[in-house]
Amino acid sequence: MKDKICVIVPVKEDSGIFRKCVVSLLDLDYANYEIIIVDDSEKGIIEKTSFPQGIKVIWSQSKGPSYARNLAAKSTDADFLAFTDSDCIVDRNWLKELLAGFEEHPDAAACGGVQKLPQDAAEFERKVFLFMKKAGFITDYMRKERKPGIAEVNHNASCNVMYRKDIFLKESGFLEGLWPGEDVELDYRLKKKGYKIVFNSKAVVYHYKPKNIKSFSRMMSRYGRAQGSLVRMYGIFRNIQILPFLSLIVLLVFPLSLFFKFMLFSLSSFSVAVLLSFGYFDFIPLLVILAFLAFIYWNVGFWIGLFRMRVDRKRQGNV
């Protein structure tokens, strides 16, 4: 019999996108898998009766995605744990392609895949997706698709990743109290201990993006706070974590007015470079806005995370 896989999805609220996620999970082309939905709402809003028989629903008492995923990991007898988000739709061959990473690299602790945009995504989501993909040179969250094949990497996003359950539990799973960035933290610990992490671009999830400026800004702020917290815990270990310090140096060296002119020039230049690569000249105004908001909200979030955010580093049980 094929290895058993447990697909784990934490969900905060019951949305239309989440329903699409469940439908795609039920259509996976793999014989031996189970689905655990973790209701992470305060009062338990996800009704068990609303799902087809065979889907397990557990309540995590609104303790956060990291706790929710760890709780599900302890509730299965599967050999592998596959994680995705409630705003994702998975490809039918998703589990097979993630498992292929372990078949080619038997010593791997984790295998991740690529994020693509759903066909029915709104126009604003498409532009956010393009922006994040083009900004991928400083972060591996939106990794570019590689040539066919499986490659070793440092990190995979938790919306599209599979771990060996025994290693996941042995290494205490996701750091509870940290979100987002809990996937970066776990992979960092795994790599430090000598585990191999791989990536297969054929393992695909279709990930919806923020639908407006407000939600995009909040996302950037959350990402920044998470990276600030990680630097506080471990020091600098990613390229993107250097940027706030470089920005601070520029701010201290140049007069404030000159600094803002420098930033506007840099953002405009970056926008034009992206435009030329895509050929979308009507993208200029929004791209400049997104770049500016990302820079401001991410950096402010970083300094808040570095100096204020307290992460509970205490593990609960073994996970």
Give Rg (Cα) of the chain. Answer: 20
Per-residue pLDDT, 313: 42
Say how far apart CA 89 and CA 118 lie, in whole Å.
8
Say how far apart CA 288 and CA 299 lie, in whole Å.
16
Residue of 216, 220, 223, 183 lying closest to 309 (CA atoms): 223
Per-residue pLDDT, 146: 55
Per-residue pLDDT, 301: 87
Which residues, in sequence order, are CB contacts of 43 under 8 Å at separation 6+?
Answer: none
Which three-class secondary structure string do you get for the chain?
Answer: CCCCEEEEEEECCCCHHHHHHHHHHHCCCCCCEEEEEEECCCCCCCCHHHCCCCEEEEECCCCCHHHHHHHHHCCCCCCEEEECCCCEEECCCHHHHHHHHHHHCCCEEEEEEEEECCCCCCHHHHHHHHHHHHHHHHCCCCCCCCCCCEEEECCCCCCCEEEEHHHHHHCCCCCCCCCCCHHHHHHHHHHHCCCEEEEEEEEEEEECCCCCHHHHHHHHHHHHHHHHHHHHHHCCCCHHHHHHHHHHHHHHHCCHHHHHHHHHHHHHHHHHHHHHHHCCHHHHHHHHHHHHHHHHHHHHHHHHHHHCCCCCCCCCCCC
Per-residue pLDDT, 65: 93
Per-residue pLDDT, 281: 42
Per-residue pLDDT, 278: 47
Counting Cα atoms < 13 Å in the Cβ hemisphere of 178 gives 27
Which residues, in sequence order, are CB contacts of 280 under 8 Å at separation 6+?
Answer: 130
The domain limits of the chain are 5-209, 214-307
Q: What is the pLDDT along the chain (319 residues), one digit of tens a residue?
A: 589 999 999 998 766 788 899 999 999 999 999 999 998 887 766 665 567 777 898 988 888 899 999 999 999 999 999 999 999 999 999 999 999 999 999 999 999 999 999 999 888 888 888 777 766 544 555 555 556 679 999 999 999 999 999 999 999 999 998 888 899 999 999 999 999 999 999 999 999 998 888 888 899 899 889 989 899 889 888 877 877 777 777 666 666 565 565 555 555 545 444 444 444 444 556 667 777 778 788 888 888 888 875 544 443 333 3
Say how far apart CA 136 and CA 130 lie, in whole Å.
10
User: How far are the Cα atoms of 75, 185, 186, 309 from residue 177, in angstroms, in the given order?
Assistant: 20, 12, 13, 10
Angle made by CA atoms 82, 168, 172, in degrees to the nearest 5: 135
CATH of 5-209, one of 3.40.50.2020, 3.90.550.10, 3.40.50.620, 2.30.30.110: 3.90.550.10
